[in-house]
A and B are shown apart, each in its own frame.
Chain A
């Protein structure tokens, strides 16, 4: 394997190449002292370089197991058991929960996209409150990180939503809900305000540190992930690369810290020969990033949520309303989710 494939800074890499170390095979049998002498790097740097060199771990001659040396593997069977026990974060509307397979799932990236004013921020705020519903009530009982890029987080609204959620829980079971207070709920939503693309990328990079400090966080909401990337980018290819980088980091965070990540996306118009269509913003490449995509739209004066992409669930649509209490089921409830194409 080429030395190029090791994650090294370019200056170190060029020093290794100049010293004649072109392949990792050449590095396997070299001591750190030898390497530092020949390649003209410090002893610490040489030790770091040699740690990166992959070596085959052979327990004893002839016997090797594939899952042992290759770290990070799980069988599909273990994943199935884990998936069955996963807790879901309810959205507030049972119909929308149904099409999502029970709610927003952890370790997955869920994207909510729609036109302005359809209720994306309302959904995000509702989820940030609902994630805190204790396990006795079927919830996840975790904290939330809310990353606000548009300035649309309204404290008064979150207060309203929280009061309504606590009232609902008290009606269900007064005894268990006695200790729940509005102050608790509000203090467990960690709010981050982001003003430009650099800050947004910095936040994504420091999410692991943040999650290490606050281990009870089970939801990260990005409202919205698009806003900072829609203007001031002359180089579209560069923008795509930055977004792809951000996406991969978010996926790694979701996987390693067992959190649900909700990304709010805007829509844009795509002009084709047949006319113009409303499509999610940030382009085709961003469509691949999310695990689940929920498109919310208006039709005939009613709000609908449409599950457009999911690895394990069929496509479905469900109506919902936004009331004083938050996101709730529509009054003229459809018994089953309808299969309706989104109105453009």
Chain B
């Protein structure tokens, strides 16, 4: 909530602002908490006008009520697509793929295949959807060589790359549209996500340029676990969840973030992190585990 002097309301003269400040009201939030309509009658005209203006400003800021029908129309108008993950069984599990406007969490233990899935999804979206992909790497597990192999597979295999003219260019193009960011700390991460949000919100789309459709964060828990334990730690984690959701909803991105799971006492308890992030209302939680016996990665989608 901004301070009272930010909206630039004319009736909030310095004298009125000083009056408010004397009562401890410095921001719009303080005003809402402290404002008592019953006392208004005894105030001066200037003060009553200021109160009316502030309430009007608050009304303008909020979206107002919308019906479900209107929301459904808006969703259809946005035309959010399903982005292919590059693996058919995973697409089937997700009933189409990663949906724009949603945040998907991929949880898994060590060496279960999380980074491989992230790289595969990046390759698939960059190649098939001709879109820009943002890959935020917090744990140094991104391998461009491996990504190029995956793209080779999507193009048609090694033979196809050699036979088909232009296949190598296609791989090059796809790789050039995957932007890789190395971030190891929570504050640079928050700052980056905010900057991305601002940049994407203001960006004017031109026909030739590729649009960012997918943001991958691998892995979110490595920047959060060092700080989780103090009071600001939890709040920072929640802030990160909020900004990821904002990026998905307002910028129409599909956001995929990987989290580590810690198996405590061999029971179904997942990491505290994933549970807490879950409370922010993810539509989809995919759990990955690696089975040593069958040497296969198993993906389980948990209904939410």
Q: Judge whether B199 and A66 touch: CB under 8 Å.
A: yes
Which residues 211-257 of B sit at the A interface, judged by CB distance below 8 A?
Answer: 212, 219, 222-223, 225-229, 232, 235-236, 239, 243
Choose among A72, A75, A108, A247 the residue that contacts B176 (Cβ–Cβ < 8 A): A75
Q: Judge whether A75 and B177 touch: CB under 8 Å.
A: yes
Q: Judge whether A79 and B180 touch: CB under 8 Å.
A: yes
Q: Judge whether B178 and A76 touch: CB under 8 Å.
A: yes
Choose among A7, A66, A73, A311 the residue that contacts B180 (Cβ–Cβ < 8 A): A73
Whether A252 sits at the interface, judged by CB under 8 Å, is yes
Contact partners of B194 in chain A: CB under 8 A:
1, 5, 24, 54
Contact partners of B235 in chain A: CB under 8 A:
2, 4
Q: Judge whether B144 and A56 touch: CB under 8 Å.
A: no
Q: How far is the CB of A274 from chain B (nearest CB, A)?
A: 11
Q: Judge whether A311 and B226 touch: CB under 8 Å.
A: no
Task: Give the nearest-CB partner of B8 in chain A.
Answer: A29
Task: Give the nearest-CB partner of A10 in chain B.
Answer: B232
Contact partners of A109 in chain B: CB under 8 A:
140
Residue picked from A24, A255, A288, A311, most chain B C-beta under 10 Å: A288
Task: Give the nearest-CB partner of B209 in chain A.
Answer: A65
Bound-state Cα–Cα, A1 to B246, Å: 11
Bound-state Cα–Cα, A5 to B246, Å: 15
Contact partners of A287 in chain B: CB under 8 A:
110-111
Query: Which among B71-79, B92-100, B185-193 touches the partner chain?
Result: B185-193
Whether A186 sits at the interface, judged by CB under 8 Å, is no
Q: How far is the CB of B49 from chain A (nearest CB, A)?
A: 21
Whether A305 sits at the interface, judged by CB under 8 Å, is no
Bound-state Cα–Cα, A66 to B205, Å: 12
Which residues 245-298 of B sit at the A interface, judged by CB distance below 8 A?
Answer: 260, 262-263, 266
Q: Mark A1-14, 1 if CB is under 8 A from B, else 0.
A: 11011110010000
Whether B155 sits at the interface, judged by CB under 8 Å, is no
Bound-state Cα–Cα, A287 to B114, Å: 13
Contact partners of A240 in chain B: CB under 8 A:
225
Whether A308 sits at the interface, judged by CB under 8 Å, is yes
Q: Mark B2-37, 1 if CB is under 8 A from A, else 0.
A: 111010000000000000000000110110000000
Contact partners of B110 in chain A: CB under 8 A:
284, 287-288, 309
Residue picked from A5, A62, A251, A255, most chain B C-beta under 10 Å: A5
Bound-state Cα–Cα, A76 to B190, Å: 22
Contact partners of B202 in chain A: CB under 8 A:
56, 58, 64
Bound-state Cα–Cα, A5 to B260, Å: 23
Chain A interface size range: 35 or more
Which residues 48-75 of A sit at the B interface, judged by CB distance below 8 A?
Answer: 54, 56, 58, 62-64, 66-67, 69-70, 72-75
Whether A241 sits at the interface, judged by CB under 8 Å, is yes
Task: Give the nearest-CB partner of B147 in chain A.
Answer: A76
Bound-state Cα–Cα, A289 to B190, Å: 21
Q: Judge whether A255 and B182 touch: CB under 8 Å.
A: yes
Choose among A22, A272, A289, A308 the residue that contacts B111 (Cβ–Cβ < 8 A): A308
Query: Given known contacts A76-B176, A287-B111, is B145 in contact with A248 (CB within 8 Å)?
Result: no
Bound-state Cα–Cα, A287 to B187, Å: 24
Choose among A2, A72, A237, A254 the residue that contacts B140 (Cβ–Cβ < 8 A): A254
Q: Judge whether B109 and A64 touch: CB under 8 Å.
A: no
Bound-state Cα–Cα, A30 to B172, Å: 45
Bound-state Cα–Cα, A11 to B178, Å: 40
Task: Give the nearest-CB partner of A75 in chain B.
Answer: B176
Query: Given known contacts A80-B145, A107-B140, is B177 in contact with A285 (CB within 8 Å)?
Result: no
Whether B184 sits at the interface, judged by CB under 8 Å, is yes
Query: Given known contacts A6-B187, A76-B144, is B192 in contact with A70 (CB within 8 Å)?
Result: yes
Query: Given known contacts A70-B195, A248-B223, is B229 in contact with A241 (CB within 8 Å)?
Result: yes
Whether B161 sits at the interface, judged by CB under 8 Å, is no
Bound-state Cα–Cα, A77 to B179, Å: 9
Contact partners of B111 in chain A: CB under 8 A:
287, 308-309
Which residues 219-272 of A sit at the B interface, judged by CB distance below 8 A?
Answer: 237-238, 240-241, 244-245, 247-249, 251-252, 254-255, 272
Bound-state Cα–Cα, A131 to B266, Å: 42
Bound-state Cα–Cα, A251 to B116, Å: 19
Bound-state Cα–Cα, A107 to B182, Å: 12
Contact partners of A312 in chain B: CB under 8 A:
143, 145-146, 149
Q: Judge whether B184 and A241 touch: CB under 8 Å.
A: no
Bound-state Cα–Cα, A2 to B195, Å: 14
Q: Judge whether A74 and B180 touch: CB under 8 Å.
A: yes
Whether B183 sits at the interface, judged by CB under 8 Å, is yes
Whether A20 sits at the interface, judged by CB under 8 Å, is yes
Q: Judge whether A77 and B181 touch: CB under 8 Å.
A: no
Whether A83 sits at the interface, judged by CB under 8 Å, is yes
Please name 17 further chain A to chain B contacts, defined as beta carbons within 8 Å, in addition to the given A4-B236, A251-B138, A288-B260, sorted by A numbering: A5-B187, A5-B239, A10-B232, A22-B1, A23-B1, A25-B6, A26-B3, A54-B191, A54-B194, A66-B179, A74-B179, A75-B175, A241-B229, A244-B226, A248-B185, A311-B115, A311-B116
Could you jot down 29 A-B contacts, CB within 8 Å? A1-B190, A1-B194, A1-B239, A20-B3, A21-B27, A22-B27, A23-B2, A24-B194, A26-B2, A64-B199, A66-B132, A69-B195, A69-B199, A72-B183, A72-B192, A74-B179, A76-B148, A76-B179, A80-B144, A107-B140, A241-B226, A251-B138, A251-B140, A252-B184, A284-B109, A288-B219, A291-B139, A311-B116, A312-B149
Q: Write the residues of chain A forming the contact surface with B, with a CB cutoff of 8 angstroms.
A: 1-2, 4-7, 10, 19-26, 29, 54, 56, 58, 62-64, 66-67, 69-70, 72-77, 79-80, 82-84, 107-109, 237-238, 240-241, 244-245, 247-249, 251-252, 254-255, 272, 283-285, 287-289, 291, 308-309, 311-312
